[in-house]
Amino acid sequence: MFSWMCVRLCRLSRCTAHSGHLSGRLKITYINTRNLYVSNKCLQKKDRLYLKAIYEQRKVQLKDYDLPANVNRKAIFANNEVQLQEIEVYGFDYDYTLASYTPELHDLIYDLGRDSLVYNSKYPEGLREMKYDPNFAVRGLHYDVRKGLLMKIDSFHHIMLGTVYRGLRSVVDEEVKELYDGTHVPLESMNTFYGTGLMHQLMDLFALPEITLLANVTEYFLRNSIPFDPEYVFHDVRSAVQDIHLSGQLHQEIMSNIGKYLVKGPEVLMLLQRLTEANKKLFLITNSGFPFVDAGMRYIVGPDWQSLFDVVITNARKPKFFNEATRPFRIYDAHTGTQSWDRVHRLDKGKVYQQGNFSLLRQMTGWFGSKVFYFGDHVYSDLADVALRHGWRTGAIIPELENEIDKINATDYKVAVRWGMVLQQMIEYCQDTTALEDTEILKEWLHERDLVRAYAKEIFNPHFGSVFRTHHNPTYFSRRLSRFADLYMSNLTNLLRYSVDHTFYPRRLALPHESQPFASMFT
């Protein structure tokens, strides 16, 4: 039985065929249930004609609708209402929050990790020919440790078909469905709360070189018919990349050529000064060591950067800092590079602290709850615990947001997405026809919708699409972002666009049972 909407659409005024086209101006008239029999009889005779007419009419009608306005790439976006006038304390991570890195950093991480595999783990020398491709992967992908597959998963734990890769090779949809008995990934196979598990999610920007290295190693083994276990390769690559962090090799390389890897500008200093002038307390909590942070902050802010912060905590070991209460604070002596042996009873401005835990931080400062706003780039280790356990307000720094917004603002993208939405609504409302010819038209619409979806995906990334969306659902990454971050932005310094008393309001989004975009075209 045709849907109510399609019955209403069927009565086009004086529709007669002439040379295969409709004569006269198309006009939608409204009917009530008394006309149902007549309308169905009309549809049985001319469904195909009417469906084609509807299709053409929608294209004409869309011309009367303005395209959405452009989004400001430097804006701040709210998942939850935040009143800055209530914030008394601002906290920051260092990497990709206070410090912004150039694209050259990813090449460095990739090269160091690859060379570690070759020299330390005795991987084939030929891997040195596999270069880093900055356009291959996006943040938030999942890697199936046992199957050796890289993929994008949506907020309902479904694999987005067309985004599954073994090495650099796309895995066909039929194979994906066979491997996973469909597209759904069970909860027990997904991440634990902190992003670890058989389906390992690569959450921060440091993960992009690691993703690419995993794919390139797999591809090299496949091309050269070298037998391998994907799980071994995963752990070897993880260890190689982690070792260059833990050994200090990566930090030494950055500090030796800091201008190549760090972005310098006056905005970070301007922001910190604005907050201190507004009598806000500032603190820094980072997993990085003090010498590395000090070198970067001197380059970004200046030699007196510590005077802007009330508390500086390094080697914090987040997320353990936020969910364990066993490690005490220790004072770090920057001159000798050693830690104190005395127990710390208070946190003083001008001193550097290491380790510690959230409970002691709250006890010694009195900072708690929604009066504290913490910013970081890692959704799990920076934001999850402080949002869910401790009630801090949270801000996520997502540098790739600007590139995504640039793509969203493109006219071709806006036109494609809008037409895809209209196509899907037509398919939804007109899907209950039983005539064979009519179902063929619906198949054509479905095919066209799929082409529009593929086009929209490739605008962002030809392999994996947008960081934030699958075809019609948010990504798993986007879901976690909306859960753990009150605000998100491309750069911390976007805060300079707003006053210290600004209130951020979340956008009201239509629920499935509420009015949808372009609903007036069908009702």
Domain at 82-100+264-399, CATH homologous superfamily: HAD superfamily/HAD-like (3.40.50.1000)
What's the CA gap between 516 and 309, in Å, rounded?
Answer: 47
Cross-strand bridge partners of residue 462? none
* Domains of the chain by residue range: 4-69+402-466+505-521, 82-100+264-399, 104-258
pLDDT on residue 39:
37
The answer to whether 377 is a known ligand-binding residue is yes
pLDDT greater than 60 at residue 341: yes
Asked if residue 313 lies in contact with residue 356, where contact means CB atoms within 8 angstroms, the answer is yes
**Looking at residue 51, what is its pLDDT?**
86
Tens digit of pLDDT for each residue in 76-124?
Answer: 999 999 999 999 999 999 999 999 999 999 999 999 999 999 999 999 9
pLDDT digits (tens, 9 = 90+) for 136-171: 999 999 999 999 999 999 999 999 999 999 999 999
pLDDT at position 519 is 52
Question: What pLDDT, on a 0 to 100 scale, did the predictor assign at position 52?
Answer: 87
Give me the catalytic one of 47, 66, 93, 438.
93
Q: Output the pLDDT for position 11.
A: 34
Query: Mean pLDDT, the chain, as a whole number?
Result: 88
pLDDT at 316 over 70: yes
pLDDT at 418: 94
Q: Is the pLDDT of residue 22 over 70?
A: no
This model's pTM is above 0.95: no
Could you tell me which residue, 18 or 164, shows the higher pLDDT?
164
93 is in an annotated binding site: yes
Per-residue pLDDT of 229-270, as tens digits, reads 999 999 999 999 999 998 999 999 999 999 999 999 999 999
pLDDT bracket for residue 33 (50, 70, 90): very low
- Which pLDDT tens digit goes with each residue over 324-333? 888 999 999 9
Return the HEC string of 355-398.
ECCHHHHHHHHCCCHHHEEEEECCHHHHHHHHHHCCCCEEEEEC
Mean pLDDT of 500-522: 79
pLDDT value at position 189? 82
pLDDT digit string (tens) for 408-465? Answer: 999 999 999 999 999 998 898 888 866 767 788 889 999 999 999 999 999 999 999 9
Residue 186 contacts residue 156 (beta carbons within 8 Å): no
Residue length of the chain? 523
Q: What is the pLDDT of residue 196?
A: 55
Closest CA to 467 of 363, 394, 379, 349: 379
Is residue 229 flagged as an active site residue? no
For 114-135, b where at least 16 C-beta lie within 10 A, e where not — what string? Answer: bebbbeeeebeeebeebebeee
Taking alpha carbons only, the member of 348, 372, 368 closest to residue 359 is: 368
Is 46 a residue whose pLDDT tops 90? Answer: no
| Residue closest to 155 by CA, chosen among 489, 470, 398, 511 | 470
Q: What is the pLDDT of residue 68?
A: 93
Residue 229: predicted pLDDT:
97
> In degrees, to the nearest 5, what angle opens at C-alpha 57 toward C-alphas 51 and 63?
150
What is the tens place of the pLDDT at every residue in 267-297?
999 999 999 999 999 999 999 999 999 999 9
Q: How many other CB atoms are found less than 10 A from the CB of residue 211?
A: 21
Told to judge if 236 belongs to the known catalytic residues of this protein, a careful annotator would answer no
What is the sign of the dihedral through the CA atoms of 343, 366, 325 and 348? negative
Question: Of residues 95, 144, 310, 385, which has the active-site annotation?
Answer: 95
Is 173 labelled a binding residue? no
Q: What is the pLDDT of residue 431?
A: 84
Q: Cβ atoms within 10 A of the Cβ of 332, count?
A: 22
pLDDT in tens, 292-315: 999 999 999 999 999 999 999 999
pLDDT of residue 436: 67
For the cut 80, the answer to whether the pLDDT of residue 31 exceeds it is no
**Residue 509: predicted pLDDT:** 84
Element (H, E) at 407: helix 401-409
Q: Is the peptide bond before 319 cis (omega within 30 degrees of 0)?
A: yes
Across the range 63-88, mean pLDDT stands at 96
Alpha-carbon torsion angle 334, 338, 339, 340, nearest 10:
-90
Give 112-168 as a DSSP string.
HHHHHHHHHS---GGGGG----TTS--TT-EEETTTTEEE-BBTTSBB-TT--EETT
Given a contact cutoff of 8 angstroms between Cβ atoms, the answer to whether 485 and 394 are in contact is yes
> Quick one: average pLDDT of 362-389?
95
Would you state the pLDDT for residue 2? Answer: 36
Residue 206 is encoded by which pair of tokens? Answer: 């440091």
Amino acid 395 reads G
Q: How many CB atoms lie within 10 A of CB 292?
A: 20
- Predicted local confidence at residue 511, as pLDDT: 86
10 Å CB burial of residue 155 (0-12, 13-18, 19+) is middle
Q: 1 pLDDT band (50/70/90 cuts)?
A: very low
Angle between helix 401-409 and helix 436-460 axes, rounded to 10 deg? 130
Show Cβ contacts of residue 297 under 8 Å, excluding neighbours closer than 6 positions: 94, 98, 99, 305, 306
d(CA 329, CA 365): 13
Range of weakest confidence among 9-23, 228-242, 466-480: 9-23
Q: What is the pLDDT of residues 166-220, one digit of tens each?
A: 999 999 999 999 999 999 999 888 865 554 568 999 888 889 999 999 999 999 9
Report pLDDT digits (tens) over 483-505. 999 999 999 999 999 999 999 99
